[in-house]
Amino acid sequence: MASVTITVNGTPQTREIETRVLLVHFLRDTLGLTGTHVGCDTSQCGACTVTLDGMAVKSCSLFAVQADGRSVGTIEGVAKEGKLNAMQEGFWQEHGLQCGFCTPGMIMAACALIERNPKPTDHEVRVGLEGNMCRCTGYTNIVKAVQTAAAATAAGKR
Amino acid sequence: MSETFFGKSVKRREDARLLTGKGAFVDDLKIPFTTHAAFVRSPHAHAKINKIDLTAAKAMKGVIAIYTGKDLKDSGVKPIPVGWLLPGIKVPAHYPLAVDKVRHMGDAVALVIAETVYIARDAAELVEVDYQVLPALSDGAEALKKGAPTVHDEAPDNVCFRWALGDKAATDKAFTTAHKIVKQSFRNHRLIPNAIEPRACLASANAGTGETTLWVTSQNPHVHRLIMAAFVLGIPEHKLRVISQDVGGGFGSKIFIYPEECAVTWASRALSRPIKWTSDRREAFLTDAHGRDHHTEAEIALSAEGNFLGLRVKTVANLGAYLTLFAPAVPTYLYGTLLTGTYKTPAIHVDVTGVFTHTTPVDAYRGAGRPEATYLIERLVDLSAKALGMDPLEIRRKNLLTSDQFPYQTPVALLYDSGNYQGALDKALTMFDYPGFRKEQAAARKEGRYLGVGFSTYVEACGLAPSQVAGALGAQAGLYESATVRVHPTGKVTVFTGSHSHGQGHETTFAQVAADELQVPMEDVEIVHGDTGIVPFGMGSYGSRSGPVGTAAIHMGAQKIKEKAKKIAAHLLEANEKDVVYEGGKFFVKGTPGVSKSFFDVSLMAYLAHNLPKGLEPGLEAISFFDPGNFVFPFGTHICMVEVERSTGVVKVLRYVAVDDLGRVINPMIVDGMVHGGILQGVSQALYEHAEYDENAQLITGSMMNYVVPKADDFIGVELARTETPTPVNPLGIKGAGETGTIASTPAVANAVMDALSPFGIQHIDMPLTPGRIWEALRGRKEA
Ligand code: FES
Ligand code: FES
């Protein structure tokens, strides 16, 4: 067992956990933040994507203890005061989700993507999201959603 | 009737929760004192279970119970039944946990229940199973060979069923008169669905009331309840509640009643504790029902002018180790019946042998039988064009059914409802400059670049129906859909639908339909699905049936509501019911809209009951069951343009154009989305996905590391358009949209690749068209 303090969506959380607990299980089971999903066991699907100190990471590939003292962002922290952010709006507008299971991870990855590259080409969006699988959308509308969000962010709409 | 919402791209209401992490997928649910399940699975494809030693596992702290197949069987658990029976079919027992033998890698032999998932999994590893390994087989064609290992004693030759359809004599005759016969063997390889949400269940038995609630990743919770209650576990149906709220994709794989949810539900009742199980991806690969897996010999008889005279098809369908719910229907009634395609072929005969192998069961996967049929036909069409020196478009034009031929009785049992196949093709050709492409192709070849174009002028069949006919053909269930429309005293509406949404957006589209029919604002309509405790009954969603069948039930329910409401309104208006009209949400006497009763007024009076027509019951609610008279038949033209790299065999899709006719469309944005996703799934069969077993029937593509689930940069954006030919089969004219993309796209891609490779004299390569396979085919070949 180990004591960890992880700042999650801005709030420091201190817990006693088994050292083998994965970050994704810490978020889902210990903190009840079930928006972060688990879709695979080989670090391929990206459903578990969160941000760690602002970088998109796969939370199934980290132990919670590795996030000790650091700051984690999950889908639950993206909308501020009930207002969706540009990426969430983009996904809604462009129908970038169907079953919605990949969506939280996809949004976390896409937010990090446009932060890195505010004006991506379609191809750059596709390459940038290659760590996130979606079986429903065929990605066509996900690319549109990211572009819509990038444009809205650039225009300073939000 | 005026339509305010039908045909509009209304943004989805379900997105508000899904975009913010507030979805309620099964694994997200938490009940106090929940225990966790892990399954002990066979590492062998075929083995006798000599002994299971639980001592070490049981001694582990935190382990609550461990059960074996024998425990379940002894307590009265019955095999999981099959939902479609064919004449002479062999149905070997499929127990939730294997009893004496395991028959595929991943077959479950024991269930461990523990306080945490981590403990359950650790304990499962301590269960010692003494296996006597037996010879195993994975290939459908091998299963029929003399001396092949036997999967089930009941079927010593591994034959589950033999099935045929069509006029054999007429077909044979067509071949005797043929100018040319084109023959080809096809391998339609095995796929693994890979919905991104793994299957999961949470069972909670209440010892006090005797009721059990099961949350499960199901596309059809009422079917789950019926089968688990009545056939497997013997729970009275009204004491089992099945809930499937947010489900993360299905593609067919979540139709079936799986061993895991049966065993977990049974154990929850045995222990009176909630038990949760969530599949990991490795288990999903091994146990989610797989798709396709055919070996086919096909031949087509051609006239000198290029007319299709006859089609003869012989298929061996690999069904895997056990029969799952709809397995027998997929390679028969959903495949053989579609072999007419969009063409005038007058004589067709198909012969299918379903066989057992030591592999994961095979059942409906997006398209289910229709992709296999469509691939075969559309490839044969291109091969025929080649053989006759015709253009692939010219041969299609010559043979396509014309719009004056509908309704069209095919030689393989189906009656096509409506169609305009030429219209869709014409429209696609306005988007894709075919002559221009041929010039570009010729120019590119001079530079050593190999471009290709592939067409797929397809038709498919959705909304399997009617129940009576399906029943006569072996279905063990009805194929209607139900809807309950409940108008509350304030005029707000709740619609309880038996359809199930696992990505399709029913909460939005069904509300569009109901709001239009009842002439109320969309926000006044709530759609409820996925809970047997509150939705009266339902057959769920698969085979693209929600649109053509599910919404029709809502439409019918709304008519009943309006009829009763009109009676009340007429009474309040002191008018004759016949003179009252309902327009813009108001009831009034024709010609005098100034004096009216609103939907709210009437709803309120229905529940106040202070002033109702004599003899009329209070309340305003209707339940309807829509049992369609026929399937519906979406169709269209897909065009794929590829480039094949000579030196590496890599295929790049350069353009993808699709014109689909789905009848009338409720929400274009949502339908486009389904088509996009469907197309990539079909493209991915053509180019990437392949479930492979080794000689010991070990699944060697058992994870996302070696089975390709396509990523964003594996494909491009598609260009869509539609034509609209309503179906007369249902009141809204809807044809179904969930599977067309997958059905149409695979042959479009394969045809395009073969077109690109034609300078090398290559006519056919079996899918998936991976760089390795193409490179192999090109090796040593020179451009002709
Ligand atoms: S759960 Fe699939 S990458 Fe983390
Ligand atoms: S929306 Fe279903 S997996 Fe992406």
* pLDDT score for A157: 53
* CB atoms closer than 10 angstroms to residue B585: 15
Query: Which one of A19, A41, A99, A142 makes the best mutation probe of the B interface by having the most chain B beta carbons within 10 Å?
Result: A99
Cα–Cα distance measured from residue A11 to residue A32, given in angstroms and rounded to the nearest whole number:
14
A130 and A113 both lie in a single domain: yes
Pocket of ligand 1 contains residue A46 by CB under 6 Å:
yes
What pLDDT score was predicted for residue B46? 98
A38 lines ligand 1 (CB under 6 A): yes
Q: Which of A92, A95, A98 for mutating ligand 2's site (highest number of atoms within 8 Å of CB)?
A: A98
Residues 6+ apart with CB under 8 A from B103: B45, B46, B151, B152, B321, B322, B358
Output the 3-class SS for B14-57: CHHHHCCCCCCEHHHCCCCCCEEEEEEECCCCCEEEEEEECHHH
How far does B676 lie from chain A, in Å, by closest CA?
5
> Is pLDDT at B101 greater than 70 in this prediction?
yes
The fraction of chain B above a pLDDT of 70, given in percent, is 100
Q: What is the pLDDT of residue B546?
A: 87
Q: Say if ligand 1 is within 6 A of residue A47 CB.
A: yes
B263 Cα to chain A: minimum distance (Å): 23
**From ligand 2's centre to the CA of B190, what distance in Å?**
22
A42 CA from centroid of ligand 2 (Å): 18
User: Residue A40 C-alpha to ligand 1 middle, in angstroms?
Assistant: 5
B728 touches B660 (CB < 8 A): no
Task: Quick: pLDDT tens for B548-582.
Answer: 899 999 999 999 999 999 999 999 999 999 999 99
CA distance B138 to chain A (A): 25
What per-residue confidence (pLDDT) applies to B3? 77
Contacts of B17 in chain A (CB under 8 A): 100
Residues 6+ apart with CB under 8 A from B234: B76, B78
**Which one, of B296, B261, B294, B256, lies nearest residue B278 by Cα?**
B261
Burial class (CB in 10 A: 0-12, 13-18, 19+), B135: middle
Sequence-ordered list of residues with C-beta below 8 angstroms from that of B443, at least 6 positions apart, any chain: none
Q: In Å, how far is B24's CA from the nearest CA of chain A?
A: 8
CB contact under 8 A, B18 and A103: yes
On whether the CB atoms of residues B466 and B630 are closer than 8 A, the answer is yes
Cβ-defined contact of B703 to A33 (cutoff 8 Å): no
Nearest CA in chain A to B669: A95
Rounded to whole angstroms, the Cα distance separating B716 from A68 reads: 40
pLDDT at B780: 86
pLDDT (tens digit, 9 = 90+) per residue, A141-152? Answer: 999 999 999 999
Which of B657, B680, B711 would best serve as a mutation to test chain A binding (most A beta carbons within 10 A)?
B711
Lowest mean pLDDT among A98-102, B269-273, B341-345, B777-781: B777-781
> Quick one: pLDDT at residue A158?
46
CA B129/CA B4 separation, integer angstroms:
63
Report the distance separating Cα B412 and Cα B170, nearest Å.
12
Between the alpha carbon of residue B218 and those of residues B184, B215, B367, B484, B530, the distances in Å are 39, 9, 18, 20, 8
**For the residues B628-648, what does the mean pLDDT come to?**
96
Least Cα separation, residue A141 to chain B (angstroms): 7
H helix intervals, B354-458: 370-388, 392-399, 421-431, 434-446
Cβ atoms of B263 and B96 within 8 Å: the answer is yes
What tokens appear for B587 in the block? 């009831």
Give the domain-ending residue among A60, A77, A94.
A77
The CB density around residue B287, as the number of other CB atoms within 10 Å, is 23
Ligand 1, atom nearest to A37 Cα: 1
Q: Does A95 touch chain B (CB under 8 A)?
A: yes
Q: Minimum-distance ligand to the CA of A104?
A: 2
Q: Quick check: A98 and B249 CB within 8 A?
A: yes
pLDDT band, residue B43 (cuts 50/70/90) = very high
Q: What span, in angstroms and rounded, lies between the C-alpha atoms of B443 and B446?
A: 5
The predicted pLDDT at position B459 comes to 97
Rounded to the nearest angstrom, the distance between the alpha carbon of B722 and the centre of ligand 2 is: 24
Binding-face residues of B in 302-341 toward A, CB within 8 A: none
Q: Please give the C-alpha separations between residue B578 and each of B186, B575, B778, in angstroms, as whole numbers.
A: 62, 8, 75
**CB neighbours (10 Å) of residue B563?**
12
Beta-carbon separation of A127 and B713 below 8 A: yes
Domain match, A33 and A51 both: yes
Question: Looking at the structure, do residues A71 and A93 belong to the same domain, yes or no?
Answer: no
Contact present, B669 and A145 (Cβ < 8 Å) = no
User: What mean pLDDT value characterizes chain B?
Assistant: 96
CA B685 to CA B523: how far, in whole Å? Answer: 40
**What tokens does B336 get?**
């053989």
**B673 close to A (CB below 8 A):** yes
* A103 CA to centre of ligand 2 in angstroms: 6
Residues of chain B contacting residue A47, judged by C-beta atoms under 8 Å apart: 196
Based on its alpha-carbon atoms, the radius of gyration of chain B, rounded to whole angstroms, reads 28
CATH class name, domain B480-626: alpha beta
CB contact B12 to A (< 8 Å): yes
Has domain B31-134+197-248+254-287 been given CATH number 3.90.1170.50? yes
Task: Check if B367-462+631-778 and B480-626 are the same fold.
Answer: yes
Tokens (6 digits) for B184? 């080809």
Q: What angle do CA B561, B564, B566 make, to 5 degrees?
A: 105
pLDDT one-digit tens code per residue, B181-235: 999 999 999 999 999 999 999 999 998 999 999 999 999 999 999 999 999 999 9
Q: Do A98 and A146 belong together in one domain? A: yes
* Token output for A108: 């976390």
What is the extent of the structural domain holding A92?
86-154
The ligand placed nearest to the CA atom of residue A135 is 2
**pLDDT at position B465, please?**
80
Q: Which residues pair with A72 in a beta bridge?
A: A8, A52
Contact list in B for residue A104 (CB cut-off 8 A) is 21
Q: Show which of A50, A77, A104 is a domain's final residue.
A: A77
Residues A71 and A13 in one domain: yes
Cα–Cα dist B182/B110, whole Å = 51
The answer on A113 and A96 residing in a single domain is yes
Counts of helices then strands in chain B (DSSP H, E) = 20, 28
> Which ligand gives the minimal distance to the CA of A131?
1
Question: Is the same domain home to A73 and A100?
Answer: no
B2 — pLDDT class (breaks 50, 70, 90): low
Which of B22, B119, B196 has the most A C-beta neighbours within 10 Å, making it the best mutation to test the interface with A? B196
Ligand 1 center–CA A23 separation, angstroms: 11
State whether B713 and A123 contact (CB < 8 Å).
yes
Q: Contact, B451 vs B643, CB < 8 A?
A: yes
CA distance linking residue B506 with residue B511, whole number of Å: 8
- The DSSP H or E segment spanning A152 is helix A140-154
Q: Are residues A12 and A72 in the same domain?
A: yes
Of the partner residues A88, A131, A137, the one whose CB lies closest to the CB of residue B676: A137
pLDDT value at B67 more than 80: yes
Q: For ligand 1, say whether the CB of A58 is within 6 Å of any of its atoms.
A: yes
Cβ atoms of B747 and B379 within 8 Å: the answer is yes
- For residue A107, the chain B residues in CB contact (below 8 A) are 19
CATH assignment of the domain containing A105: 1.10.150.120
B215 at interface of A, judged by CB pairs closer than 8 A: no
Structural contact between residues B730 and B632, judged by C-beta atoms closer than 8 angstroms: yes
Instruction: Nearest chain B residue to A44 by CA: give it.
Output: B704
pLDDT for the residue B466: 86
| B464 and A CB contact within 8 Å | no
Tell me, yes or no, whether A57 and A16 share the same domain: yes
CB under 6 Å to ligand 2: residues? A 97-103, 134-137; B 196, 248-249, 503
8 Å CB contact of B197 and A143: no
Shared-domain flag, residues A93 and A119? yes
Which residue among A75, A137, A139 has the greatest number of ligand 2 atoms within 8 angstroms of its CB, and so is best to mutate? A137
3-state DSSP assignment of residue B120: helix
Domains of chain B, by residue range, sit at: 31-134+197-248+254-287, 367-462+631-778, 480-626
Whether chain A has a CB inside 8 Å of the CB on B669: the answer is yes
Q: A53 and chain B: CB distance < 8 Å anywhere?
A: no
The CATH number of B367-462+631-778, from 3.40.190.10, 3.90.79.10, 3.40.309.10, 3.30.365.10, is 3.30.365.10
3-state secondary structure B740-761: HHHHHHHHHHHHHHHHHHHHHC
Query: Residue A44 maps to which CATH number?
Result: 3.10.20.30
The span from the CA of B410 to the CA of B388, in Å, is 25
* ipTM score assigned to the predicted complex: 0.97
B713 contact A CB<8A: yes
Could you tell me if A70 and A98 lie in one domain? Answer: no
Kindly identify which residue of chain A lies nearest to residue B704, measuring between CA atoms. A44
A36 pLDDT tier (thresholds 50, 70, 90)? very high
Alpha helix (H) residue ranges in B474-546: 506-518
Nearest to A95 among B17, B281, B670 (CB): B670
- On whether both A59 and A23 belong to a single domain, the answer is yes
In the 8-state DSSP scheme, what is residue B693? B
Residues of A in contact with B248 (CB under 8 A): 37, 99-102
Residues B379, B340: contact at Cβ < 8 Å? no
Task: Over range B731-737, report the average pLDDT.
Answer: 93
pTM: 0.96
Is A142 in Cβ contact with B280 (below 8 Å)? no
